[in-house]
Amino acid sequence: MLRTLEGGRARKPRAATNDKLECLTAVERKVLWLSTWMIHNANHLRPNRDGLKVGGHQASSASVATLMTALYFDVLRPQDRVAVKPHASPVFHAIQYLLGQQTRDKLERFRGFGGAQSYPSRSKDGETVDFSTGSVGLGVGMTLFASLAQDYLRLKRLVPTDGPPGRMIALAGDAELDEGNIFEALLEGWKHDVRNLWWVIDYNRQSLDAVVSDRLFGRIDALFEMMGWRVVTLKYGRLLEAAFTRPDGHHLREWIDACPNSLYSALVYKGGEGWREHLHRDLNRYPGIRTILDDHDDAALQRLMTNLAGHDMASVLTAFHAVEDDRPTCFIAYTIKGYGLPFAGHKDNHAGLMNQDQMASFGRNMAVPDGAEWEPFAGLDLPAERLAEFLEGVPLAGSGPRRHDAAAVAVPPSLPVPRGTRLSTQEAFGRLLGDIGASDAAFAAHIVTTSPDVTVSTNLGPWVNRRGIFDRAERADTFREEHVVSAQRWAMSPQGQHVELGIAESNLFLQLAAFGLAGPLFGTRLLPIGTLYDPFIKRGLDALNYACYQDARFILVATPSGITLAPEGGAHQSVGEPLTGMAQPGLTAFEPAYADELAVLLRWAFEEIQRETGESAYFRLSTRPIDQPRRKIDPDLADAIVAGAYWLREPAPNAELAIAYCGAVAPEALAAHQVVAEDIPGAGLLAITSPDRLHRDWRAAGTRGDRGVAERLLTRLRPGAALVTVGDFHPATLSWLGAVAGNTIVPLGVDRFGQSGDIPDLYRAYGIDTDAILDAAARACLTALRQTG
């Protein structure tokens, strides 16, 4: 149901000058044309080699042409950052083209290789895209966490604060509000009192398949207001508002307000005749309505009845400019999906494309001459010089690069290895970070940690005790003030360097994405570290993928992991995450066994996340305390640890067997190796710190034409020698090693979960204990003998 306008309690509007309004209206027309033409060109005019529909979203684009024109050509300031709903990409590219930031060549290759991207992409489209979008809902949530990141930097004076803060703006489709991550983000944002945030909802009441339920949307205002947001509803344009003031006009308003979404959409599609029929049927008893109907021919009636505020430039500008404070604001802008196009309002229009005839007729309406389809000003009523001058004066034009080139943060040459003869990697992580927190190392000021309600149980406690929790306001640690003894000191202040999040893992990844883009977005780099339980990576996996896709840089510490957290049991055990770590572009995965390895890797990660061609890093850690090797790590060993593997026990030349282990199963591998070595004295024991790096290097070696790390290590064995791999993860994580140098492999690992127990029971049940390794070694040796003689 179309709802009644509840105007925002914003300030007195500033009227746009007529001159500006004329220019913006002309530009809007061109934006609509170019976005439509770009899609048409890609689908109908470009050679098609594979017979696939190219696609593009003409209807979704038309829906936001007014809103985006208003934003990009008038409202946005250089410091503002925007996430555009994914399927409005053509509108975005058209806008950048008119601003001189996008080439015609790329528009012509829209959705083609190297062309303008189907969905706005930071990494593929470059500079002009502030936040990538594609998976609906995530771009919207991202703006909220970017706003928090901006507050974090400004409150600490890590960025200049003489200028005003940027507004973080999302242009969202209405159906994006179906995504749970939006609500998770809203609640988190309320807790952190986020500011400078605008969500502009393209309220066309249509999703991909359907017209949106009337009842669902009855609650939007209340929801945002409950979270402390201002809600500004842009419902009717000036034509309709004028009609409502005519005699009996209020009946027209009531009729539209009560009109179900599906009927309104269907009538938009049918046009003037359809409106007339329904209005005659329902409102004929009011003379004023009969006069309105008589005054409008079908075309004019269609114009009137579709005159929603989201397509009315003056109304849109008034609403945007009226908001001058930093309160988060949700604009609900009523629009029509496919506005101005032949399939406007049709429920099946999401993937609809205009055919050649429709496009030709649209071109005639737009007065675009044949051959001038890409011309920026062709067919517009205003002189080209006036428009060019207008474009030059747009606040965004000529404002310099949108991305900051933030200085790198120097990382110390080494991190002190936590002391102790028996340690778990999780404990080592806690101590490493605690030591950094206690030090006065300059780089520590750039570290920010965050965790979804597992700060203490992932061992961030020592760090937080040193560095405090971030909050906009100073808040005392009540337990401490009341002298209640606790190991955790939780004072909150703007100086705090830990952002405590609620349990939603999706928020964790969006927060890491925002912190991880602090350099390019705001001008100062942060070194973000997020901790969570390894299996719950899956809960936020799409947001993690989203963060990596936009090349945000952060360190993810997933702990505890695997069945090694034995008594914790089933639902907390992770199996496939190392494969995720290998398969996720933009993320390098590590699973060290020892504290000294972790110290080397964490230091490396602080640099890696700052390298231009670097990646984010994922550490899979364990709560299992194990005996630590007594050794000093020399530079060669450090390099090998980073490269992914080294011989913990060197094999004899041409050895017949090696055991390769990764992570917390090191004691079982060592024990098995000791037994095996009695029969096969030259057997090797390979420590693997990163299946991911090893695998990548193996593939890259083929292209480089050298042997690569894994092959160089394994060719120390005799050709076809037996190899047993073992780890607390899916066996596929390492089974590929058999192919590197043609070894006879028996991969051990975990392929189920769901059992509590202690480590001996579980390792036995899942076949990764010492006996299982010995059995596998015997089998591998027998097979190797049979195969290679």
Contact residue for Mg ion among 74, 125, 151, 174 (CB under 5 A): 174
Residue 176 touches which of Mg ion, ligand TPP, none (Cβ within 5-8 Å per kind): ligand TPP
Structural contact between residues 272 and 342, judged by C-beta atoms closer than 8 angstroms: no
Residues 6 or more apart whose Cβ sits within 8 Å of residue 86? 119, 120, 133, 134, 135, 136, 139
Cβ closer to Mg ion: 173 or 462?
173
Assigned token pair, 357? 């005839």
Binding mask 347-376 for ligand TPP (x = CB under 6 A): ---x--------------------------
- Choices 6-14, 48-56, 171-179, 362-370 (CB under 6 A): range interacting with ligand TPP: 171-179
Q: What three-state secondary structure class fits 721?
A: strand
Q: Does 202 bind ligand TPP (CB under 6 A)?
A: yes
> What is the C-alpha separation between 386 and 393, in angstroms, rounded?
11
Which residue intervals of 200-297 are DSSP H helices? 214-217, 220-226, 238-244, 249-258, 261-270, 272-283, 287-295
695: enclosing H helix or E strand: helix 691-704
Cβ closer to ligand TPP: 176 or 596?
176
Minimum Å distance from CB 142 to Mg ion?
19
Q: Does 274 bind Mg ion (CB under 5 A)?
A: no
Q: Does 135 bind ligand TPP (CB under 6 A)?
A: yes
Q: Does 442 bind ligand TPP (CB under 6 A)?
A: no
> What is the C-alpha separation between 107 and 40, in angstroms, rounded?
11
Minimum Å distance from CB 464 to ligand TPP?
33
Contact residue for Mg ion among 36, 66, 133, 204 (CB under 5 A): 204
Residues 6 or more apart whose Cβ sits within 8 Å of residue 106? 93, 114, 115, 116
- Cα–chain-centroid distance for residue 439? 33
Structural contact between residues 498 and 463, judged by C-beta atoms closer than 8 angstroms: yes
User: Which residue bears the tokens 């920026």?
Assistant: 376
Chain residues 600-659 in contact with ligand TPP, contact rule CB under 6 A: none
* CA end-to-end distance (rounded Å), the chain: 79
Say how many C-beta atoms besides its own lie within 10 A of residue 343's C-beta. Answer: 20
Q: Does 132 bind Mg ion (CB under 5 A)?
A: no
Residue 321 touches which of Mg ion, ligand TPP, none (Cβ within 5-8 Å per kind): none
Contact residue for ligand TPP among 43, 66, 102, 207 (CB under 6 A): 207
Contact residue for Mg ion among 61, 181, 206, 770 (CB under 5 A): 206
Cβ closer to Mg ion: 69 or 206?
206
Instruction: Single out the residue of 196, 202, 207 nearest to residue 168, CA to CA.
Output: 196
Q: Does 561 bind Mg ion (CB under 5 A)?
A: no
For the purposes of burial, counting CB atoms within 10 Å of the CB of 327, is it exposed (0-12), middle (13-18) or buried (19 or more)?
middle
Contact residue for ligand TPP among 204, 531, 564, 744 (CB under 6 A): 204
329, β-bridge pairs: 198, 230
Minimum Å distance from CB 550 to ligand TPP?
16
The CB-nearest residue to ligand TPP is: 173
Cβ closer to ligand TPP: 84 or 666?
84
> What is the C-alpha separation between 404 and 123, in angstroms, rounded?
15
Minimum Å distance from CB 178 to ligand TPP?
8
Cβ closer to ligand TPP: 337 or 624?
337
- Choices 204-212, 308-316, 370-378, 437-445 (CB under 5 A): range interacting with Mg ion: 204-212
Residue 628 touches which of Mg ion, ligand TPP, none (Cβ within 5-8 Å per kind): none
Structural contact between residues 516 and 528, judged by C-beta atoms closer than 8 angstroms: yes
> What is the C-alpha separation between 561 and 466, in angstroms, rounded?
26
With helix as H, strand as E and coil as C, how does 31-82 read? HHHHHHHHHHHHHHHCCCCCCCCCCCCHHHHHHHHHHHHHHHHHHCCCCCEE
**# binding residues, Mg ion (CB under 5 A):** 5
- Cα–chain-centroid distance for residue 554? 13
Q: Does 519 bind ligand TPP (CB under 6 A)?
A: no
Q: What is the DSSP string of 124-146?
A: HH-TT-SS---STTHHHHHHHHH
Q: Does 206 bind ligand TPP (CB under 6 A)?
A: yes
Minimum Å distance from CB 241 to ligand TPP?
24
Residue 657 touches which of Mg ion, ligand TPP, none (Cβ within 5-8 Å per kind): none
Q: Does 139 bind ligand TPP (CB under 6 A)?
A: no
**# binding residues, ligand TPP (CB under 6 A):** 18
Residue 171 touches which of Mg ion, ligand TPP, none (Cβ within 5-8 Å per kind): none
Binding mask 83-102 for ligand TPP (x = CB under 6 A): --xxx---------------
- Cα–chain-centroid distance for residue 4? 34
Minimum Å distance from CB 122 to ligand TPP?
17
Q: What are phi and psi of 215, to 5 degrees?
A: -65, -40
- Choices 66-74, 141-149, 172-180, 189-197 (CB under 6 A): range interacting with ligand TPP: 172-180
Say how many C-beta atoms besides its own lie within 10 A of residue 542's C-beta. Answer: 16
Contact residue for ligand TPP among 15, 45, 187, 208 (CB under 6 A): 208
β-strands 422-423, 626-627 pairing: antiparallel
Q: What three-state secondary structure class fits 422?
A: strand
Q: Does 311 bind ligand TPP (CB under 6 A)?
A: no
Minimum Å distance from CB 173 to Mg ion?
4
Contact residue for ligand TPP among 168, 175, 544, 555 (CB under 6 A): 175
Chain residues 754-783 in contact with ligand TPP, contact rule CB under 6 A: none
Residue 87 touches which of ligand TPP, Mg ion, none (Cβ within 5-8 Å per kind): ligand TPP
> What is the C-alpha separation between 267 and 327, in angstroms, rounded?
37
Contact residue for ligand TPP among 30, 106, 337, 466 (CB under 6 A): 337
Cβ closer to ligand TPP: 286 or 339?
339
Cβ closer to Mg ion: 32 or 428?
32
Q: Does 174 bind ligand TPP (CB under 6 A)?
A: yes
Minimum Å distance from CB 114 to ligand TPP?
22
Q: What three-state secondary structure class fits 678?
A: helix
Q: What is the DSSP string of 743-766?
A: -EEEE-----------HHHHHHHT
Instruction: Single out the residue of 551, 731, 636 nearest to residue 125, CA to CA.
Output: 551
- Choices 205-213, 310-318, 405-413, 668-676 (CB under 6 A): range interacting with ligand TPP: 205-213
> What is the C-alpha separation between 480 and 493, in angstroms, rounded?
15
Minimum Å distance from CB 175 to Mg ion?
5
Structural contact between residues 59 and 10, judged by C-beta atoms closer than 8 angstroms: no
Residue 29 touches which of Mg ion, ligand TPP, none (Cβ within 5-8 Å per kind): none
Contact residue for ligand TPP among 41, 60, 610, 743 (CB under 6 A): 60
β-strands 616-620, 527-532 pairing: unpaired
β-strands 645-649, 684-688 pairing: antiparallel
Residue 668 touches which of ligand TPP, Mg ion, none (Cβ within 5-8 Å per kind): none
Cβ closer to ligand TPP: 134 or 272?
134
Q: Does 580 bind Mg ion (CB under 5 A)?
A: no
Q: Does 136 bind ligand TPP (CB under 6 A)?
A: yes
Minimum Å distance from CB 136 to Mg ion?
10
Q: Does 111 bind ligand TPP (CB under 6 A)?
A: no
> What is the C-alpha separation between 492 and 468, in angstroms, rounded?
6
Using CB under 5 A as the criterion, which residues of the chain lie in contact with Mg ion when the complex forms? 173-175, 204, 206
Using CB under 6 A as the criterion, which residues of the chain lie in contact with ligand TPP when the complex forms? 60, 63, 85-87, 135-136, 173-176, 202, 204, 206-208, 337, 350
